Amino acid sequence: MQQLRQTQRTTLKRLPKRGSHEREVINQILDEGFICHVGFAIDGQPFVIPTGYARAGDKLLIHGSQASRMLRALKEGIDACVTVMLIDGLVLARSAFHHSMNYRSVVIFGRAELVEDRGEKLAALFALSEHMIPGRWKDVREPTEAELQQTTVLSLPIDEASAKIRTGPPLDDEEDYAMSVWAGVLPLRLVTEHPMADPRLPGNIAVPDYVIEYRRKP
């Protein structure tokens, strides 16, 4: 597997054995998530903003309104820190101290670039749509020129990044294993429910297969 170059910012200080700099591991986590949190600073004031994203090759794409303070700041080339986290289970130990969670996370450092070329911008918006629900783009109206002008798309290279993963049962103190207390993992996962039609949708329009059969990537 390709290993990303390890930097001072991506070197895990606590529990480094849970870390990974393998691009495939990082990509798999990014491809499963929906929301990232973008950390940045404006005039010395820190901000962390949640937003949707998509991965396209070795770049992370984010988009939004031209009026977005976050996007206006990031397109100036300031340092950013982007995080994505997936929760896989609640780890219930015999002691309160050792309760934990099974999770997969990614942290990316870098500077985003503005996507200005019209073709690249459309390709990025297509990637964002396909990341959310594959197959949807071909059914909907593509953005108009006015909508494209009102939309900012940024591309962040996934070059300085690391993953951190916890799996498995609780890790109790040895003397606590004799306690008469249930311990283990309560798995959690994201599931789809029955689609709810728009109230203004005509009754003769069927639910698309890609909605009925939708499952998040494992």
Residue 3 lies in a domain: no
- Residues 165-214 have pLDDT tens digits of 999 999 999 999 999 999 999 999 999 999 999 999 998 999 999 999 99
34 occurs within a structural domain:
yes
Phi, psi of 193 (to 5 degrees): -115, -175
Half-sphere exposure of 50 (CA within 13 A, CB side): 5
Average pLDDT over every residue of 71-75: 95
User: pLDDT-based confidence at 64, cuts 50/70/90?
Assistant: very high
Q: Which residue has the tokens 């059914």?
A: 139
61, 101, 96, 98: which is closest to 85 by C-alpha? 101
The pLDDT, as a whole number, for residue 217 is 66
Q: How far apart are CA 72 and CA 77, in angstroms?
A: 10
Residue type present at position 95: S
Two tokens at 110? 């870098």
179: helix, coil or strand? coil
* CATH code: domain of residue 50: 2.30.110.10
pLDDT-above-70 percentage for the chain: 99
Q: Is residue 22 part of a domain?
A: yes
Q: Is 53 inside a domain boundary?
A: yes
If you average pLDDT over residues 79-91, what whole number do you get? 97
- 45: tokens are 């004031």
Sheet holding 59-65, edge to edge: 54-56, 59-65, 151-157, 113-114
**Residue 216: per-residue pLDDT:** 77
pLDDT at 1: 72
**Phi, psi (rounded to 5 degrees) for 52:** -75, 160
**Does residue 10 lie in a domain region?**
no
Domain total in the chain: 1
- For residues 151 and 143, the answer to whether their CB atoms sit within 8 Å is yes
Give the pLDDT of residue 76.
94
Whether the per-residue pLDDT at 45 is higher than 80: the answer is yes
> Which residues in 4-97 belong to E strands, given as ranges?
19-20, 35-42, 45-52, 54-56, 59-65, 80-92
Residues 6-24: what's their mean pLDDT? 93
| Percentage of the chain modeled with pLDDT above 90 | 93
pLDDT tens, residue by residue, 126-164:
999 999 999 999 999 999 999 999 999 999 999 999 999
Q: What angle do CA 26, 99, 19 make, to 5 degrees?
A: 20
Q: Quick check: is 1 in a domain?
A: no
Rounded mean pLDDT, 14-28: 95
- pLDDT at site 215: 85
Residues paired with residue 49 on neighbouring β-strands, in sequence order: 38
In a domain, 72, yes or no: yes
What's the rounded Cα separation, in Å, for the pair 8 and 12? Answer: 9
Cα–Cα distance for residue pair 184/127, rounded to 1 Å: 38
Q: Which helix H or strand E contains 127, and what residues bound it?
A: helix 118-132
What is the pLDDT at residue 218?
60
Q: Tell me the pLDDT of the chain averaged across its residues.
A: 95
- 154 located within any domain: yes
> Structural domain of residue 193, as residue ranges?
16-174+181-212
